[in-house]
Amino acid sequence: MKNVPASLEAIINQVKQAFPGEDKLHEMFAKCFINTYSTTLKQMDDGTTFVITGDIPAMWLRDSAAQVRPYLLAANEDEEIKNMLVGVVKRQIKFILHDPYANAFNSSPSGERYHDDQTEMTPWLWERKYEVDSICYPIQLAYLLWKTTDETTHLGNEFQEAVKTIVKVWRTEQDHENNSPYRFERDTNLHTETLKRAGKGGKVVPTGMTWSGFRPSDDACTYGYLVPANMFAAVVIGYAAEICEKVLNDAQLAQECKELGEEIRQGIEQYGTIEHPFYGKIYAYEVDGMGGYQLMDDANVPSLLSAPYLGYCDFDDAVYQNTRNFILSRNNPFYYEGKAARGIGSPHTPDHYIWHIALSIQGMTSLNDKEKERILHTLLHTDGGTGFMHEGFNASKPEEFTREWFAWSNSMFSEFVLSYIGKTVEGSPLNTRNK
């Protein structure tokens, strides 16, 4: 295990000081906060940083960005941490340029893969499930790193090419039915692991939103327009526009980003909302543009619950609050209540299993101090005796859980605890709200 840098130890000590006498919290925060740094990072020969997700030896674009995000709080004081983060972004950008439709990658062209799928695989790809959020997260991390440190070495020509690539993909997938080259089929009995219609997925019509084959859980979308992923896309393409203007001096690309972001946002507001008879106007989880929709929320981020955390809307936005009331109720088919906890789970994990990630997001998006305190207490008492967060856990028996080593979940818990004491990342919506 790596030695913990002084900059990270200082943050651990700040949490100890903020919660005097809370030994369980001190121990859990320290273990979860350093978990990504101590166990998942690999420095590559080209100076980039490869990040495994934990118990799987591949690098997910989504997970890797979320795993290292809390370390932005140390990046200004610690050159090593800053360089590590720069390395993560540069590695992510290389992967996007290699294949923007892939979600998880190998550290070398080893040919290792999760499954022999019918899609355009290369030896670099662990899995090629196309998820809109996969190419959102690297932009978000790159932007927050710039805002936190003024560093721009990760925002060079390759980043510019990656933005062009992402714009092209999202434009293509605005009319998936007619324009998309992407297909994905897996020989499986699980409908969540493959796309129907010979790998094309369920039919959609243009809405302004951009199509996604899979959710951030890696489960297949039921309807092709995943609303929370489009919310994330609308935000980060705005980040890309700002970088293009202020760092890359590319006014044309900045304008393309702005126009695309506006189209996606308009699509969400026109096609991604419904009038609920009890909750009023709320966001659907998925839609197809033809009247089909799914009312639910999933535990993974981006989720509807995370919309203000992502920066799509204000924390007190009326439609968001209506949506929040819906998804934190039994009307959400993946909201569970048990003897130990209540919260949002996922069709990706067993019935009655709540996700720690969803609890952390619920805490960070709450406007109620008592709710935040209750969630913190829940997190501290549902670790299953391990001192770590997990994927899903049995709402009545927390010692029953999935994924013993899931670094993303540990980082989300760390970020929630830090936000609880007012320590938030510069440039993030949480930081803006604190001000």
For the segment 312-346, what is each residue's pLDDT rounded down to a tens digit? 999 999 999 999 999 999 999 999 999 999 999 99
> How many CA atoms lie less than 13 Å away from 347 in the CB half-sphere?
17
Q: What is the pTM of this model?
A: 0.98
433 falls in which pLDDT band (50, 70, 90)? confident
| CATH code of the domain in which 183 resides | 1.50.10.10
Inside any domain, residue 309: no
pLDDT at residue 435 tops 70? no
How far lies 411's CA from each of 68, 131, 147, 209, in Å?
7, 21, 20, 30
Domain co-membership, 14 together with 51: no
Please give the tally of structural domains in the chain. 2
Tell me what the mean pLDDT of segment 290-304 comes to. Answer: 98
Listed residues 275, 295, 315: the one ending a domain? 295
pLDDT tens digit sequence for 180-209: 999 999 999 999 999 999 999 999 999 999
| Region 36-47 average pLDDT | 96
Residue span of the structural domain in which 58 resides: 40-295
- Examine the domain organization and report whether 27 and 47 are in the same domain: no
Answer whether residue 217 is part of any domain.
yes
Sheet holding 125-127, edge to edge: 59-60, 104-105, 125-127
Q: What does the buried/exposed string (b/e) look like for 182-218 if buried means 16 or more CB atoms within 10 Å of the residue's CB? A: bbbbbeeeeebbbbeeebbbbebebbbbbbbbbbbbb
What value does the mean pLDDT of the chain take? 97
Task: Give percent above pLDDT 70 in the chain.
Answer: 99
pLDDT band at 229 (very low <50, low <70, confident <90, very high): very high
Indicate if the pLDDT at residue 1 is higher than 70.
no
The answer to whether residues 404 and 378 belong to one domain is yes
Exposure string (b/e) for 254-269, b if CB count within 10 Å is 16 or more?
Answer: bebbbebbebbbebbe
pLDDT tens, position by position, 131-170: 999 999 999 999 999 999 999 999 999 999 999 999 999 9
Q: Residue 340: its pLDDT value, please?
A: 97
Q: Are residues 271 and 349 in the same domain?
A: no
**Residue 432, pLDDT score:** 79
Residue 134 within a domain: yes
Question: Do 103 and 10 sit in the same domain of this protein?
Answer: no
Residue 304 domain-assigned? no
